[in-house]
Structure 1
Amino acid sequence: MRAWLVDQWRKRLGTFGVIGPSIAQCAVGAALAWLVAVHLLGHPNPLFAPVAVMICVGIGSGRRLRRLAELVIGVSLGVGVGDLLVSWIGSGPWQLAFVIALAMTVAWLLNSSELFVSQAGSSAVLVAMLVPGADGGGLDRMVDALTGGVVGIAAVALLPASPLTIAGRHLSGVLDAFSTMLEQAAEAIEKGDADLAAEALECGRRTQTAVEEFTAALDNSKEIIRISPLRRHHRARLARYQTAALPVDLALRNARVLVRRTLAAMGEPMPPPVALAELLREVSEAALLLQLELGAGREPTLARQALLAVAARERPKHLGFSANVIIAQLRSIAVDLLQATGMEHDEASATLTPLDESMRG
């Protein structure tokens, strides 16, 4: 247990470089929003100003501009409904329930976004229960929310996280999982071990979450570049990650089919030949080269050369059904990863050894 806790602690420390800038944005932005609301706008209790910064900036991989718009409108709606109803019916438990229900219902009818609806309800709670009868009216609170939103954008622009770090870290997770899956499948073929093939398949089933996280990270990185003038020079490097996103996803899907067929092949009279394991490892290494070259900001020429060598290989002879399926999936994976390096689909497909030639002899 102690070793596990130490390992988890090290992993958290290893990822702090990604989360740290967002924490700084939240802390500095919240303090600045409070100062602006108190000293420039004259609001004695600007609760919504720092809250708006926290929700706007956050530490996740969301669409921050859209989140900000939903925050400001949601706060305005919640404050408006809350102020109106509290002035009519007063405050108390049943009034609180009624105010929340009405605010969230109106919000849902206007926009089904969970953030929009929950923010409207949260704002209504604050108006109905925490600050009833306060000197500052609903308009002041709406201005506080707007102030916090503007300061949040400024914090993202002036204290930006590194979009390349965010995108690169998530792509590394995807390609690491892909490489591990192929390595396990290669070992299963060499040893004729169904348990190893099953482990590879289980690894493959977990990869879709990593792909979804990478897609979200790309969206976040693009938004940082769009908002922050300090990160605009990263557009060209981020474009390489964008180019790789869909092909890598397709390669993973094909790899899952390959591993599933590898497991099925363990019980066949003609299991896959050991020569296939070497091909799997070459593709696995090419994926790691792609990861390294994109992370270093280089054109992925080494990865492309490695994949071209795999594509040009002739198919082993006298294969069983499952081995033929594995070869077909490897060919598809090679095309996918070549596209991830920047090649067009037709150009990548043309690099494959024609099946009729590979079957001669």
Structure 2
Amino acid sequence: MAGPVRRTLTRATRGFDAAGALSRTVSSLPAVVQIVIAASASYVIAHLLLGHAVPLLAVTITISSLGFARDARPRRVLENAVGVLIGIALSEVMLLVLGKGVWQMGVVLLVVLVVARFFSPSNAFAIAAATQSMLVMLLPDPDGGPFVRSIDGTVGGLVALAVTAVVPRDPVGLARADARRLFVELDVAFASLVAALRDDDVRRADEALRRLRATQPLLDDWASTLESALAISRLSPFLRSRLPHLRQQDRIRSNVDLAVRNLRVIARRIDTSLGDGARRPAVADVLDATGRAVSALGASLDDVEQLPVARDALTAVARRLDPSLLIPGQPVTETIVVLMIRPLVIDLLMATGLDHDDARARLAPV
């Protein structure tokens, strides 16, 4: 018996990532603390202050409105709360009119889902409304008469919204962590491209292209957490002082997003041109300098003094981007790569704070 049990446990735990589980748990602690505080506050208000014996919906709405979603914007929290309140209010009205029963439950569920889909494109909105409506239909009627549960729901939604501002989840730190993950991948991709050009190594070019194509989820995560951080910081008195830094980070993110899209195209061009035995040290040097500038740009999110370092390094690269001087006499395929690097450098210069005209003026004339 011990043998089969041991083999079963081994199969069950073989795919378990302990390091990932620990990282996930630690990163979720701010959300855990926020949810615990909010749910406790909802219970205290509904039970002790309003006298509701079992304020189940106040607590469940608080928990479902906050959740563990990456997007913790007040607007999202409010939308979730409104969704469940619609489900509760409609259910209580229909419960008074239709009573309880199997067909009544079906009618209520149908109406709530249709109304929720009409008011919001969010799937979660409709499901939250439908779930809460079923609690109203299936649980015993509370003491206090009609709409006690609607009052509990309102308490839960308001507490969730208030706690979002008063006990935020360190949205600034989450946005910075997402940015770091992206810049680590960009460092590796630049290094792979440089090695591929210097050694005519198609395998390294393939690796760079694969990494760059995989950065879009990282960019999307960064955009989501940064949007959430901006929204919470506008509402929270404790984070309002971080708004200038977050706006600067958002400018960097939007221009880096454009730069990465350009870099993918460049990597694809390089990948298809290698394999002929030729080495391309001049283009490799330019991309190496660009990669080091991008590293400084990423470091500027923690140390603002790195921003002018990145700008100066990118300016030095921009002044070299004349194919006739950088790679004289080389085939047109080489010239095209250098010309493709020019808009990449413009995007990165704009990420350092320059406007488009100023960034373009730093390019070598061609």
Q: What TM-score does the superposition give when structure 2 sets the normalisation length?
A: 0.88
5 Å matches for 1:124-203?
124-129=133-138, 131-203=139-211
Partner of 1:294: helix, strand, or coil? coil
1:273 aligns with 2:280: yes
Task: From the superposition, tell whether residues 290 and 231 of structure 1 become closer, same or farther in structure 2 (CA, over 3 Å).
Answer: same
Q: Contact between 1:264 and 1:322, CA under 8 Å: does it hold in 2?
A: no
1:81 aligns with 2:87: no
Between Structure 1 and Structure 2, how many residues are aligned? 352
- After superposing the two structures, state which structure 1 stretch, 73-82 or 87-96, moved more: 87-96
- After superposing the two structures, state which structure 1 stretch, 185-194 or 7-16, moved more: 7-16
Q: 2:212 aligns with which of 199, 204, 222?
A: 204
Q: How far, CA to CA, are the matches of 1:299 and 1:198 in structure 2?
A: 31
- Report the alpha carbon displacement of residue 321 of structure 1 after superposing the two structures with TM: 2.9
Q: Contact between 1:107 and 1:117, CA under 8 Å: does it hold in 2?
A: yes
Partner of 1:61: helix, strand, or coil? coil
1:21 aligns with 2:34: no
Gaps of 5+ in 1: 356-361
1:351 aligns with 2:362: yes
Partner of 1:161: helix, strand, or coil? coil
Q: How far, CA to CA, are the matches of 1:296 and 1:56 in structure 2?
A: 35
Q: 1:310 aligns with which of 317, 328, 331?
A: 317
- Report the alpha carbon displacement of residue 56 of structure 1 after superposing the two structures with TM: 2.8
Q: Contact between 1:57 and 1:64, CA under 8 Å: does it hold in 2?
A: no
Task: For 2:290, give the aligned amino acid.
Answer: V
Task: For 2:351, give the aligned amino acid.
Answer: A
Task: From the superposition, tell whether residues 265 and 113 of structure 1 become closer, same or farther in structure 2 (CA, over 3 Å).
Answer: same
Aligned to 1:108: 117
Task: For 1:280, give the aligned amino acid.
Answer: L
Task: From the superposition, tell whether residues 48 and 299 of structure 1 become closer, same or farther in structure 2 (CA, over 3 Å).
Answer: farther
Q: Encode CA deviations 1:50-107: one digit per residue, 9 max, x unaligned.
A: 2222233223232532223323332232123323444455545554333222210122
Q: How far, CA to CA, are the matches of 2:246 and 2:305 in structure 1?
A: 11
Q: Contact between 2:201 and 2:275, CA under 8 Å: does it hold in 1?
A: no
1:294 aligns with 2:305: no
Q: How far, CA to CA, are the matches of 2:297 and 2:230 in structure 1?
A: 21
Q: How far, CA to CA, are the matches of 2:65 and 2:129 in structure 1?
A: 15
Q: How far, CA to CA, are the matches of 1:186 and 1:62 in structure 2?
A: 36
Aligned to 2:337: 326
Task: From the superposition, tell whether residues 339 and 16 of structure 1 become closer, same or farther in structure 2 (CA, over 3 Å).
Answer: farther
Q: What TM-score does the superposition give when structure 1 sets the normalisation length?
A: 0.89
RMSD over aligned CA atoms reads: 2.5
Q: How far, CA to CA, are the matches of 1:71 and 1:136 in structure 2?
A: 26
Aligned to 1:223: 231
Aligned to 1:68: 77
Q: How far, CA to CA, are the matches of 1:138 and 1:262 in structure 2?
A: 69
Gaps of 5+ in 2: 1-9
Q: Contact between 2:117 and 2:126, CA under 8 Å: does it hold in 1?
A: yes
